Amino acid sequence: MKFVIGVLVGVLAGVGIYAAALEYGAFDMPLADLEAKYARPTSKFMEIDGVRVHYMDEGPSGGSAPAIVLLHASYMNLFTWDSMTKALSGQYRVIRFDLPTLGLTGPDPKKRYTLEFNMQILDELTTRLGADKFMLLATSSGGTVAFRYAASKPERVTRMILINSAGMPRTAVTNPNRARGDVIDQWIQARHKSMNYWRKGLGTNFTSMPPPDWLVELTYDTNRRAGGREEGALFLKNYKTGDPQTVLGQVKAPTMILWGMANPTVMHLEADVMSLWLTAAPSLVKKYPNMGHYLYLEIPQEVEKDVADFLSGAKDAELRITQRVPVQTAGTAP
C-alpha cells in the first residue's frame, strides 16, 4: 500500500510540475533563438509601424521583373514557399514575408493582430520596396488578406491566385479554429502544442504522404515562440469573415482559384462560390482530385506549373466572368 501511495504521489507531483511548466512557458522558444536557427542569408527585416517584419525579396536583378507577393497560411511562415519561390524567381521578383504572430516577424507593441493590420503591412512593405504593382499568390488565411487587399487596392494588384483560401462564412461546426478535445486538452493546447500535435494535425491535411519532418519541426518551433500563444489567440479572437460576397465583388484582378477536393479544412465547393462572387473579375477554378489543404507542398511541380501558366497568360482563354441576370418580378415581361 505504501508503494502504491508513493507511486500515486510521484505521478501527481509529476503532473503538477508539467502543468506549471506549461503555465509559465517552459517550452517557449525566444525569438532570438528562432532567428539563430532559421534566419538565412536572404532574410531581411523591416520595421513597419513598430513591428519588425521578416521578409525575403528574390528574383532577377535590375528591377524590371514583374513582382509577385506570396502570403502563407495560418500557423505557417514564408519558408513554406521555398519551392514556389525557386520555381518563379527566375522570371519574377518574388516577395514573401511572415505575417504577424508567425515565423520570425516580431510582436506588435500595440497588439493589432487583425486582418486589417496584415493588409497594412502588405501595403507598406511593397510600397517601401518599390513594388507599386504586383501579383498576389496566397493560401488559407493568407488568401483572406489577399482578396480583401485586392478589393481595397485594385490599382495595385494585377493578378491573384488563391489556393484553398479561407475567408468564407463559417458555422460553429465548420469553423477551422473551433475548440477540439476535452477541457484538459484545450487547456494544454492553449499553452503548448507538442511536436506530435503538429505531426498529427498537419497529417490530416496531407493526403498522399505524411507531412515532411522539416515542416513538422518548423511548425512546432515557430508556434512556440515566446509570447506567440497570446498573440495568436488575439488574432483568432479578432478574425471575422465579414461579408466576403461584397468584398469579392470589388476585386478586379484576373483570379485563379486552386483547391484540393479532399481538403478537410475548407470544402472544395467554396472555390465555386468564390468564383461566382467575383462579379467584377474574370476567374477560373481548378480542383485537384484526392488532394488536401497543402497541395502546393504535396504536388509542387503540378501546382507550380499551373501558377506559372496563369501568370504568363497561358490560361487566359479559360477565364470567365460571372454574369448576373436581373430577377424578373411578377407582371414584368421577360
- The yes-or-no verdict on residue 3 having pLDDT over 70 is no
- The yes-or-no verdict on residue 11 having pLDDT over 50 is no
Q: What is the mean pLDDT of the chain?
A: 89
pTM of the entire structure?
Answer: 0.89
Q: Calculate the alpha carbon distances from 111 to 46, 117, 244 in Å.
A: 18, 10, 25
Tell me the mean pLDDT in the region 66-73.
98
Q: Which domains does the chain have, with CATH numbers?
A: 31-315 (3.40.50.1820)
Which SS3 state, helix, strand or coil, does residue 128 take?
A: helix
Q: Measuring CA to CA, which residue among 34, 18, 24 is closest to residue 221?
A: 34
Write down the H helix ranges in the chain.
2-23, 31-38, 82-88, 115-128, 141-152, 183-189, 195-203, 213-222, 228-238, 244-248, 269-277, 295-298, 300-312
Find out whether 230 and 260 touch, Cβ atoms under 8 Å.
Answer: no
Q: Which pLDDT score, from 0 to 100, does residue 123 have?
A: 98
CA distance 276 to 284: 10
* Cα 259 to the center of its chain, rounded Å: 14
Q: Which pLDDT score, from 0 to 100, does residue 150 have?
A: 98
- The yes-or-no verdict on residue 332 having pLDDT over 70 is no
Q: Which pLDDT score, from 0 to 100, does residue 15 have?
A: 46
CA distance 202 to 168: 21
Confidence band (pLDDT; 50, 70, 90) for 236? confident
Q: Which amino acid is at 38?
A: Y
Confidence band (pLDDT; 50, 70, 90) for 4? low
pLDDT in tens, 83-128: 999 999 999 999 999 999 899 999 999 999 999 999 999 999 999 9
Hey, CA dihedral for 196, 77, 98, 137, is it positive or negative? negative
- The yes-or-no verdict on residue 326 having pLDDT over 80 is no
According to DSSP, the β-strands at 51-58 and 44-48 are antiparallel
According to DSSP, the β-strands at 93-97 and 67-71 are parallel
Q: Calculate the alpha carbon distances from 61 to 16, 65, 92, 95 in Å.
A: 57, 8, 10, 13
Q: Which pLDDT score, from 0 to 100, does residue 157 have?
A: 98
CA distance 257 to 149: 16
Q: Measuring CA to CA, which residue among 159, 138, 121, 101 is closest to residue 283?
A: 159
Confidence band (pLDDT; 50, 70, 90) for 308? very high
